[in-house]
Structure 1
Amino acid sequence: MKILIQPCLKLPFYYLLTFFIILSHAKSQSQLYDQEHGVLLKIKQYLQNPSFLSHWNSSNSSHCSWPEITCNNDSITGLALVNTNINQTIPPFLCDLKNLTHVDFNLNYIPGEFPTYLYNCSKLEYLDLSMNNFVGVIPDDIDSLSNLQYLNLSYTNFTGDIPASIGRLKELRYLPLQYCLFNGTYPDEIGNLSNLETLDLSSNYEFPPSKLPLTWTKLNKLKVFYMYGCNLIDEIPETIGEMVALEKLDISQNSLTGHIPSGLFMLKNLSILFLYQNSLSGEIPDVVEALNLTIIDLTSNELTGKIPDDFGKLQKLTGLSLTLNKLSGEIPESLGLLPSLVDFRVFSNNLSGTIPPDFGRSSKLGSFHIASNNLSGRLPENLCYHGELLNLTTYDNDLSGELPESLGNCSSLLEIKIYNNQFSGNIPSGLWASFNLLTFMVSHNKFTGVLPEILSSNVSLFEISSNQFSGRIPTGVSSWTNVVVFEASKNYLNGSIPEELTTLPRLTTLLLDQNQLIGPLPSKIISWESLVTLNLSQNQLSGQIPDAIGQLPVLSQLDLSENQFHGQIPSRLPRLTNLNLSSNNLTGTIPSEFENSAFASSFLDNPGLCSDTAALNLTLCNSGTTERSSKDSSRSLPLIISLAVVTFLLACLMSFLIIRRCRKRKQGLDNSWILISFQRLNFTESNIVSSMTEHNIIGSGGYGTVYRIPINDLGYVAVKKIWNNRKLDKKLESSFHAEVKVLSNIRHNNIVKLLCCISNENSMLLVYEYLENSSLDRWLHKKRKSSVVSGSVHHFVLDWPKRLKIAVGIAQGLSYMHHDCSPPIVHRDVKTSNIILDSQLNAKVADFGLARMLIKQGELETMSSVVGSFGYIAPEYVQTTRVSEKIDVFSFGVILLELTTGKEANKGDEHSSLAEWAWRRVQLGSNIEELLDNEIMENSYLGEMCNVFKLGVMCTSTLPDSRPSMKEALQVLLMCGESLAHGERNVCHYDVIPLLGNSKGECRLDVDNDS
Structure 2
Amino acid sequence: MSKLPQPFPEVLLLLFLISIPFNVISETIETERTVLLNLKQQLGNPPAIQLWNVSSSPCSWPGIKCTDGSVTSVSLQDMNITSEIPPSICKLKNLTFLDLSDNFIPGHFPTLLYNCSKLQHLNLSLNYFIGSVPGDIYQLSTLVYLDLSDNNFSGNIPPSIGGLRALKELRLQYNEFNGTFPKEIGNLSKLELLWMAYNGFVQMNIPDMFTQLKKLKYLWMTATNLIGKIPEGFANLSSLEWFDMSKNNLEGPIPSRLLMLKNLTNLYLFNNELSGKIPRPVEALNLVEIDLCRNNLTGTIPGEFGMMQNLVFFNLMSNQLTGEIPAGMDQLPVLKVFRIFANKLSGVLPPELGLHSKLEYFEVCDNQFTGQLPENLCAYRVLLGVVAFSNNLSGHIPASLGNCSTLRTVQLYNNQFSGEIPPGLWTTFDLSVLLLSNNSFSGELPSQLGRNLSMVKISKNKFSGNIPVGIGSWSSLTVFEANGNQLSGELPSDIASWKSLNTLDLSGNKLSGQIPAAIGSLPDLLNLDLSENQFSGKIPDNLANLRLTSLNLSSNKLYGQIPDEFDNLAYENSFLNNSNLCADTPILNLPDCSSKPRKLTSKYLPLILSLAVFIVIVTVSLILFVMIDYRSKKRGGDLATWKLTSFHRLDFTEENIVSRLTESNLIGSGGSGKVYKIAINESGGFVAVKRIWNNKKLDGKLKKEFIAEVEILGSIRHANIVKLLCCISSENSKLLVYEFMENQSLDRWLHGKKKRSTTIGTNSIYHIVLDWPTRMRIAIGAAQGLCYMHHDCCPPIIHRDVKSSNILLDSEFKARIADFGLAKMLTRQGEPHTMSAVAGTFGYFAPGKINREFYGSFVVKSICLLDLYIAEYAYTTKVNEKFDVYSFGVVLLELVTGREANCGDEHTNLAQWAWRHYTEGRPEVEIFDPEINDPCHLEEMTLVYKLGLICTSTLPSSRPSMKEVLLFLQRHSRHPKKK
TM over 0.5: yes
Q: What's the secondary structure of 1:313's corresponding residue? A: coil
Q: Deviations over 1:465-522 (max 9, x none)?
A: 1111112113xx4152221111111111111111233212322221111111011122
Does residue 169 of the first structure (1) align with residue 143 of the second (2)? no
Contact 1:774 1:838 in 2 (8 A): no
Contact 1:197 1:221 in 2 (8 A): yes
Q: What's the secondary structure of 2:376's corresponding residue? A: helix
Does residue 423 of the first structure (1) align with residue 393 of the second (2)? yes
Q: Select which of 291, 294, 314 maps to 2:262.
A: 291
Letter in 2 for 1:544: Q
Q: What is the aligned partner in structure 2 of residue 235 from structure 1?
A: 205
Q: What is the aligned partner in structure 1 of residue 126 from structure 2?
A: 155
Q: What is the aligned partner in structure 2 of residue 572 from structure 1?
A: 542
- Following the alignment from structure 1 to structure 2, what is the Cα–Cα distance between the partners of residues 111 and 562? 66
> Residues 106-121 of structure 1 correspond to what in structure 2 (within 5 A)?
106-121=77-92
Measured after TM superposition, the shift of residue 582 of structure 1 is: 2.4
Which of 1 and 2 has higher RCO (CA within 8 Å, sep 6+)?
A: 2
Q: What is the aligned partner in structure 1 of residue 578 from structure 2?
A: 606
Q: Deviations over 1:420-463 (max 9, x none)?
A: 22221111111132121111111121111112222222211111
Q: Which moved more, 1:432-441 or 1:153-162?
A: 153-162
Does residue 583 of the first structure (1) align with residue 552 of the second (2)? no
Contact 1:244 1:267 in 2 (8 A): yes
CA 1:65–1:758 in 2, change beyond 3 Å: closer, same or farther? closer
Measured after TM superposition, the shift of residue 652 of structure 1 is: 2.7
Q: Deviations over 1:929-976 (max 9, x none)?
A: 9x999x999xx999x99xx99998998699679999999x99xx99xx
Q: What's the secondary structure of 2:370's corresponding residue? A: strand
Q: What is the aligned partner in structure 2 of residue 449 from structure 1?
A: 419
> Residues 145-294 of structure 1 correspond to what in structure 2 (within 5 A)?
145-205=116-176, 207=177, 209-233=178-202, 234-288=204-258, 289-294=260-265
Contact 1:894 1:952 in 2 (8 A): no
Q: Select which of 528, 531, 544 maps to 1:561.
A: 531
- Following the alignment from structure 2 to structure 1, what is the Cα–Cα distance between the partners of residues 132 and 934? 39
Contact 1:874 1:890 in 2 (8 A): no
CA 1:29–1:877 in 2, change beyond 3 Å: closer, same or farther? farther
> Residues 618-767 of structure 1 correspond to what in structure 2 (within 5 A)?
618-622=590-594, 624-626=596-598, 628-632=599-603, 642-659=613-630, 729=706, 741=718, 743=720, 762-765=735-738
CA 1:154–1:372 in 2, change beyond 3 Å: closer, same or farther? same
Contact 2:33 2:54 in 1 (8 A): no
Q: Select which of 471, 479, 501 maps to 1:501.
A: 471
Does residue 482 of the first structure (1) align with residue 449 of the second (2)? no
Letter in 2 for 1:618: L
- Following the alignment from structure 1 to structure 2, what is the Cα–Cα distance between the partners of residues 688 and 343? 63
Contact 1:738 1:848 in 2 (8 A): no
Contact 1:402 1:424 in 2 (8 A): yes
Q: What is the aligned partner in structure 2 of residue 747 from structure 1?
A: none
Give the number of aligned pairs.
Answer: 888
Letter in 2 for 1:340: N
Q: What's the secondary structure of 1:406's corresponding residue? A: coil
Q: Deviations over 1:744-787 (max 9, x none)?
A: 8xxxxxxxxx9x997676444455675999956557x6573899
Q: Which moved more, 1:447-456 or 1:520-529?
A: 520-529
TM-score normalized by structure 2?
A: 0.74
C-alpha RMSD of matched pairs (Å): 5.9
- Following the alignment from structure 2 to structure 1, what is the Cα–Cα distance between the partners of residues 369 and 467? 33
Measured after TM superposition, the shift of residue 734 of structure 1 is: 8.8
Runs of 5+ unmatched residues, structure 2: 695-702, 729-734, 792-797, 852-878, 974-979
- Following the alignment from structure 2 to structure 1, what is the Cα–Cα distance between the partners of residues 503 and 465? 22
- Following the alignment from structure 2 to structure 1, what is the Cα–Cα distance between the partners of residues 413 and 495? 27
Does residue 352 of the first structure (1) align with residue 329 of the second (2)? no
Contact 2:893 2:910 in 1 (8 A): no
Q: What is the aligned partner in structure 2 of residue 85 from structure 1?
A: none
CA 1:426–1:196 in 2, change beyond 3 Å: closer, same or farther? same
Q: Which moved more, 1:159-168 or 1:237-246?
A: 159-168
Q: What's the secondary structure of 1:424's corresponding residue? A: strand
Q: Which moved more, 1:649-658 or 1:170-179?
A: 649-658
> Share of identical aligned residues, percent?
33
CA 1:741–1:690 in 2, change beyond 3 Å: closer, same or farther? farther
Q: What is the aligned partner in structure 2 of residue 543 from structure 1?
A: 513
Q: What is the aligned partner in structure 2 of residue 460 from structure 1?
A: 432
Contact 2:331 2:356 in 1 (8 A): yes
CA 1:866–1:849 in 2, change beyond 3 Å: closer, same or farther? farther
Q: Deviations over 1:646-698 (max 9, x none)?
A: 33332333334544676699889999999999xxxxxxxx9999999977877
Measured after TM superposition, the shift of residue 255 of structure 1 is: 1.7
Contact 1:532 1:556 in 2 (8 A): yes
- Following the alignment from structure 2 to structure 1, what is the Cα–Cα distance between the partners of residues 312 and 249? 27
Letter in 2 for 1:238: D
Q: What's the secondary structure of 2:249's corresponding residue? A: coil
Does residue 386 of the first structure (1) align with residue 356 of the second (2)? yes
Q: What is the aligned partner in structure 1 of residue 756 from structure 2?
A: 784
- Following the alignment from structure 1 to structure 2, what is the Cα–Cα distance between the partners of residues 535 and 297? 42
Contact 1:778 1:784 in 2 (8 A): no
Q: What's the secondary structure of 1:142's corresponding residue? A: helix
Q: Deviations over 1:86-125 (max 9, x none)?
A: xxxxxxxxxxxxx222222221123332211122211111
Q: Deviations over 1:556-601 (max 9, x none)?
A: 4332222111122334345241433222212233344544444443
CA 1:640–1:247 in 2, change beyond 3 Å: closer, same or farther? closer
Q: What's the secondary structure of 1:118's corresponding residue? A: helix
- Following the alignment from structure 2 to structure 1, what is the Cα–Cα distance between the partners of residues 235 and 726? 57
Does residue 317 of the first structure (1) align with residue 287 of the second (2)? yes
Does residue 433 of the first structure (1) align with residue 403 of the second (2)? yes
CA 1:697–1:399 in 2, change beyond 3 Å: closer, same or farther? farther
- Following the alignment from structure 2 to structure 1, what is the Cα–Cα distance between the partners of residues 582 and 30? 97
Q: What is the aligned partner in structure 1 of residue 332 from structure 2?
A: 362
Contact 1:114 1:138 in 2 (8 A): no
Measured after TM superposition, the shift of residue 816 of structure 1 is: 9.9
Measured after TM superposition, the shift of residue 604 of structure 1 is: 3.1
CA 1:395–1:526 in 2, change beyond 3 Å: closer, same or farther? same
Q: Deviations over 1:805-858 (max 9, x none)?
A: 96787578759988999999999999998999999xxx9896754899xx9xxx
CA 1:697–1:123 in 2, change beyond 3 Å: closer, same or farther? same
- Following the alignment from structure 1 to structure 2, what is the Cα–Cα distance between the partners of residues 480 and 55? 56
Q: Deviations over 1:387-431 (max 9, x none)?
A: 311111222222222111222535221111222222211111111
> Residues 377-416 of structure 1 correspond to what in structure 2 (within 5 A)?
377-407=347-377, 409-416=379-386
Q: Select which of 143, 147, 154 maps to 2:114.
A: 143
- Following the alignment from structure 1 to structure 2, what is the Cα–Cα distance between the partners of residues 672 and 71? 45
Q: What's the secondary structure of 2:623's corresponding residue? A: helix
Contact 2:156 2:181 in 1 (8 A): no
CA 1:941–1:767 in 2, change beyond 3 Å: closer, same or farther? closer
Q: What's the secondary structure of 2:448's corresponding residue? A: helix
Runs of 5+ unmatched residues, structure 1: 1-8, 78-98, 678-685, 745-753, 975-1011
> Residues 297-336 of structure 1 correspond to what in structure 2 (within 5 A)?
297-310=268-281, 312-336=282-306
Q: What's the secondary structure of 1:586's corresponding residue? A: strand
- Following the alignment from structure 1 to structure 2, what is the Cα–Cα distance between the partners of residues 709 and 633? 48
Q: What's the secondary structure of 2:141's corresponding residue? A: coil
Q: Select which of 459, 462, 469 maps to 1:492.
A: 462
